[in-house]
Structure 1
């Protein structure tokens, strides 16, 4: 496989050096693998810290900045960051108002963030945690006990980040984050397998002419394989899977997300089908975001995330944000 890398062993460090060069508004500690907004800690503001294995860019480092995350901890490819990274991040952003850890529901992430919270509290930092578990495809998977954390992570980081930037106290930021997670569901589809730099070849076999419904962002198995479907057929299946579980009674935010190798031409066409299905099902859409945001390296495919929102959540979603990968209103 051809990749734009030097050697697999330095791919994360090389990427962090590139982020530092492109975004002087961030403080990037390449050695310790921590990305922090340069103005942190902000007086009186709750710090938001997230992280996970690299390979899902722009999640999480691409979402560090005003209106979203205070810091991110990138691990090795598809591997949880370690507690030392998380404690460094918490210390860098703590203003005395506390720190919220946003954790995707993968076993390594959950265990390491829990350990980091204990270590940070030993250093006098008040820490709360919210676990994101929005994937409706399977109840348990290769890397998790319970549902996987996927696209709703973006919604949690954006909306809770806006609340924190407004000066909301830690308990309020936690409440908002939990409300968003509880109101969100996702479903992903793979058209091709993912290739990690270390392996240099696809991590699973997905024959030509087939797709995997309900795939995870690390290439975990989904619900079933089928012969290739049209964009409209995939939208029908994915949106119905989300709606069957979420059962919204009001408007939703919609994230139509690419898995890394899906061009925007296809994603916008797929979004048209997603919007068609939601209209047919009588679900009003308040806002839509289309693009590659929660990815899986070079996997071709897509995911759909819906979050039922109220006026307050929509206001926080619309609030200004200024990060490398998401920005509006400033």
Structure 2
């Protein structure tokens, strides 16, 4: 009897343990896929940065190229053989200095011939005028003599001017940028001999994006400064001289030309590198603009600009459309779509989706942490 009671108790104990085991084992362990619960998604760490309020003003810098403020290709207005050329490239010349000469002999002979014709016409005019006063000749003869003299005088002026033009003088203080011919060549009239560039004032040419000019207008170009490539950190004030009326069809930028005084302690030549700096107007901070990292912005299929907003706790990322402003060294202005302090993804933006669960990556961590 006692043995029967003991067997009954053991049987009940085993059955209860089996029931508890069955209840504690997940159903999917037994292959019941229809009733299985979905496994929780892994939380992926994402590199992020917080967006900051945009400061009230911004400095934009652009690569620039130096060019002379005055540039001219010098040529002779007459043709002839070049007998003197003091125009080696890089040579500094003063205004009025002789830099080239043509052989003057043919021109001197032409002047001598024109002077003889002029003197003969003058004597004939005097003689005819005297005869007319004595009523010995007609008024028509006097008129012809007067016309012949004026023609001879005009021809003499032309010949003298041609002789004068055999000497080429510098139009202004400058430097010879390029020489196109060699000495003793026969030069045709109006053929460029050398290129002369001013050294008293320089110009820099740089490209400004259309969105900068569209947003700020003339105020964007009110405070231009220039730094030459070999001038260290010295910024020099410049004034805008020209702004192109048409944008480049590829880069959508406008060419701006600014004039700056040539530095006395630095030899700056046309073609050298420089930088132009614009100080854009204040007021953006009050309009709620923020600065976001460039790596956070990506393009959507609709042509818009987007960022992924990442919450501080594990949650799906939020794809948010933004309106961009001006590019800066520290990031890009975002005019709408973001608020200061929000986190945005700065890596893997093209692999994120709203079906993921993500969190900000811990500082200093890498990969999957």
Q: Output the TM-score relative to the length of structure 2.
A: 0.18
Higher relative contact order, structure no. (Cα contacts within 8 Å, ≥ 6 residues apart): 2
Higher strand proportion, which one? 2
Higher Cα radius of gyration: 2
